[in-house]
Homo-oligomer: A and B are copies of this chain.
């Protein structure tokens, strides 16, 4: 297993009483090399009931359009809270990069490179390299397991997921499809209803990755539609403890033109899901907004990951 991903540690930097790794590896599902970052806090504050080979829970953070792992690691302000709460923070990239160029993938900032949308493409042109859904939910976990020092630290049974904008879309769709796998989900300004007519980002991405014929596919990757069409949430074993947190800035230019987080919140309420929604006065779509509320989000996850 070790060899198939041929990983290379690009850097290993001490920060916030832990280590921040940047790791490059071969991605089989995306047919190219991929780079991600992971922050692992020290175990400086042992608890009386710590086992000898203690493993820590992990949050996967999915970034927004144009980002790499570096935006959130440098500007997100997540590591102090992760250190305090003893949580590992995983930061994947937002698309495949460095493969043989596909026509159309580098023409705009909201499609293709940096804009994988956390789906597995079905369109012929993209399906070799655009499989970010499999990548962030499965392959990257296998890569972590294949790196002895890191794999031994992660408790893969205690995981949750969060994200920003396109990454908020990714986190919500991934978690809501399988709430038993994830203890919690949170999002900053998520693209919450990408299959709708009034979401140009979603329309462009889904047209490119799925084509326009199979609208069922579009609905399967729309957080609001997933919640609406799921009948059995209350039968899931963690229905009572599973929780959702969304923060949205009211001065975010995309709030009422691309994101529509309230549609998702309404659907959750209809299904009696535990969903907390904070509309933040004066905040925009940027990391100035994210970093302000990151600690709240980490603590929200921590309560469900212990």
Contacts and interface: CB of A to CB of B under 8 A. Distances in A.
Copies in the complex: 2
Contacts of A277: none
Interface in A282-303: 282-284, 286-289, 291-292, 295
Q: Name A's interface SS.
A: mixed
Contacts of A17: 292
A230 interface: no
Interface centre among A14, A17, A289, A295 (most CB of B within 10 A): A14
B13 A286 contact: yes
Interface residues of A, number: 23
A80 interface: yes
Nearest to A73: B288
B288 A20 contact: yes
B14 A287 contact: no
B77 A288 contact: no
Nearest to A74: B75
A295 B80 CA distance: 10
Interface string A118-149: 00000000000000000000000000000000
A14 B295 CA distance: 17
A251 interface: yes
Contacts of A74: 74-75, 287
A251 to B, nearest CB: 7
A24 interface: no
A298 to B, nearest CB: 13
Contacts of A20: 288
A13 B289 CA distance: 9
A149 to B, nearest CB: 15
A256 interface: no
Interface in A253-306: 282-284, 286-289, 291-292, 295
A132 to B, nearest CB: 26
A16 interface: yes
Contact of A16 (B75, B249, B286, B292): B292
27 contacts: A13-B284, A13-B286, A13-B288, A14-B249, A14-B251, A14-B282, A14-B283, A14-B284, A14-B288, A14-B289, A15-B283, A15-B289, A15-B292, A16-B288, A16-B291, A16-B292, A17-B292, A20-B288, A74-B74, A74-B75, A74-B287, A75-B75, A77-B77, A77-B80, A77-B291, A79-B291, A80-B292
